[in-house]
């Protein structure tokens, strides 16, 4: 699978108005990438990602890369869309749905701190 396909899967779920994603950002991103479960939370997945695979400029993230935020109990993860700075996310802009939003909306809406993006998820290299 390549990054474009993961982003397209999120877009498809958005169009279908897929529900059941409330609080399930890591699971939703994993399923979009077809990656098995490994870590219990988004923040745990980020913390277990090697430093060499972490990048801080959100505008350089390739399609399908995963973006991470620290906040709440579990953190947050979303997938880079085709448009720089825009992500496919669960619960933003609408609770229990997948939506396309600008990456700063996670901070604006929930107060979460942007950590960066990565080309790995749950220890799996993403083809981005």
Whole-structure pTM value: 0.96
pLDDT at 45: 98
| In-domain check, residue 107 | yes
Residue 98: pLDDT over 90:
yes
| In-domain check, residue 125 | no
Secondary structure E strands in the chain: 54-55, 66-70, 76-80, 86-90, 98-102, 113-118, 120-121, 124-125
Range of the domain at 58: 3-120
- For residue 127, how many C-alpha atoms fall within 13 Å in the half-sphere facing its CB? 9
| In-domain check, residue 128 | no
As for how many domains the chain has, the answer is 1
| In-domain check, residue 98 | yes
Do residues 112 and 71 lie in contact, with contact meaning Cβ atoms separated by under 8 Å?
yes
| In-domain check, residue 126 | no
Q: What is the CATH number of the domain that holds 102?
A: 3.90.1720.10
Tens of pLDDT, residue by residue over 46-58, are: 999 999 999 999 9
Token reading at 45? 């997945």
pLDDT at 1: 74
In 10 A of CB 44, how many CB atoms?
15
Token reading at 90? 């669960």
- Beta strand 54-55 with 113-118 is antiparallel
| In-domain check, residue 127 | no
Q: In angstroms, what CA-CA distances link 50 with 30, 31, 85, 120, 122?
A: 18, 22, 23, 9, 11
Q: Residue 88 is inside which H or E element, if any?
A: strand 86-90
| In-domain check, residue 78 | yes
| In-domain check, residue 70 | yes
Tens of pLDDT, residue by residue over 2-21, are: 999 999 999 999 999 999 99
């Amino acid at each position: 699978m390549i990054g474009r396909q993961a982003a397209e899967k999120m877009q498809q779920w958005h169009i279908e108005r897929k529900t059941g994603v409330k609080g399930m950002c890591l699971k939703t991103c994993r399923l979009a990438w077809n990656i098995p479960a490994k870590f219990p939370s988004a923040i745990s997945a980020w913390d277990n990602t090697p430093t060499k695979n972490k990048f801080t400029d959100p505008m350089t993230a390739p399609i399908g890369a995963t973006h991470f935020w620290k906040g709440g109990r579990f953190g947050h993860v979303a997938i880079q869309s085709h448009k720089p700075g825009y992500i496919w996310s669960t619960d933003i802009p609408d609770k229990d749905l997948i939506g396309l939003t600008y990456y700063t909306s996670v901070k604006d809406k929930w107060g979460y701190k942007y950590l960066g993006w990565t080309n790995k998820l749950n220890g799996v290299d993403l083809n981005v």
